[in-house]
Amino acid sequence: MTTIQALIIALLQGLTELFPVSSLGHAVILPALLHWTLDERSLTFLPFLVMLHVGTAAALLLFFWRDWLALARGALGLADPLHVRESRHILMLIVIATIPAVILGYAFDSLFRTLFGTPMIAAMFLILNGLMLFLGERLRARSSMTGDRAIADLTIVDAVVIGCWQCVAFLPGISRSGATITGGLLRGIDHQASARFSFLIALPVIFAATASQGLKLHHAHLGFTDLQPAILGAIVAGVTAFASLAFLMRYFRNHDNWAMGPFAIYSIVAGAGSLLALTFL
C-alpha cells in the first residue's frame, strides 16, 4: 500500500463511516474502480485497518465526550436522582442496541464479507441503501409519528429494533448510520436525536471490531516503519471523522424533513455509476 493509497482510504473511512453512505461499500468499490491491488495478507494491512477504527472511535469519543461524561456521572450516582435514572436508562438502551451487532458480527462478519464483499454486489447494495433511506423518510412522512420523542423516551423494544437495524450494515453497501438513523426515525424520534443515538451506539461497536481485529496482532513483530501507514491513517481518519460529525449534527439539527434525501440520492447514483463503471471499464 502506497502513502497516497493509505491517505485516500483513511479519508474515505473518516467520511463514509459516519455519513449514511456505507464505508464498507466504498472500501470494496473504490479499489476496484481505481484498479488497486491491495495485499490483505501484508504485514502492515491489518494494523492499518485497526488504526483506522481507532481514529474513528477517538473522534466519536472526543465529539460526544460531554454525553459520555454525563452518562458516566449519572450511572455512578454522581448527579441528581432524575439524571441518575435517565443516564442509567440511556446506558441500558445503548448496551441493548449494541448486543445484536456484536453477536452477529462475531458469528458471521467474515461469512458476510466472503459472500457479499465483491464490488458488483457492494454497488447493488449501495443502491439498496439509497432506497432504504428514501423508504424510511417516506414511511415517516406518511405516518402519524411527530418525532417528538427524546432518546430517554425510547424503550427496550425500541433499542432492540434499532440494534437489529444496525445488523443490516454487515452487508457491504448498507450504511450502519443510515440504517440506525432510519430505525430511530421509524420509532418516533427526530433526525438529530436519531443521529445522536446512532453515533453513541457506534462507539462500542467500533471498539468491539477494533478489539477483535487487534487480537490478531499479538504475535506480529512490527517496527515503527511498518506502523507509519497505520499511524497516518488513524490521524487522517480521526480528523475527518470529527469534521464529519460536526457537519452531520449541525445538518440534522437544521433539517428534519426528508433530511436523508441527499444521501439517498448519492447512494443510488454512486451505486448505479459504480455498476456501469465496473461493467464497462
Q: Residues 219-255: pLDDT tens digits?
A: 666 666 667 888 899 999 999 999 999 999 999 999 9
CB atoms within 10 A of CB 269: 13
- Transcribe 16-54 into DSSP letters: HTTSTT-HHHHHHHHHHHTT----TTSTTHHHHHHHHHH
Q: Please give the mean pLDDT across all residues of the chain.
A: 89
pTM (2 d.p.): 0.92
Region at 83 (left for phi over 0; alpha for psi -120 to 50; beta for the rest): alpha
SS3 189: strand
CB atoms within 10 A of CB 11: 15
Cα(47)–Cα(158) distance, rounded to whole angstroms?
36
- The pLDDT of residue 152 is 92
**Could you tell me if 164 and 28 are in contact, meaning their C-beta atoms sit under 8 angstroms apart?**
no
Distance between alpha carbon 178 and the CA centroid of its chain, in Å?
A: 8
Residue 22, pLDDT > 70, answer yes
**Could you tell me the pLDDT band of residue 90, with boundaries at 50, 70 and 90?**
very high
**Could you tell me if 183 and 165 are in contact, meaning their C-beta atoms sit under 8 angstroms apart?**
yes
**Could you tell me if 119 and 28 are in contact, meaning their C-beta atoms sit under 8 angstroms apart?**
yes
- The pLDDT of residue 87 is 93
Among 11-25, 26-40, 153-167, the range scoring the smallest mean pLDDT is: 26-40
**Could you tell me the pLDDT band of residue 3, with boundaries at 50, 70 and 90?**
confident
- The pLDDT of residue 223 is 66
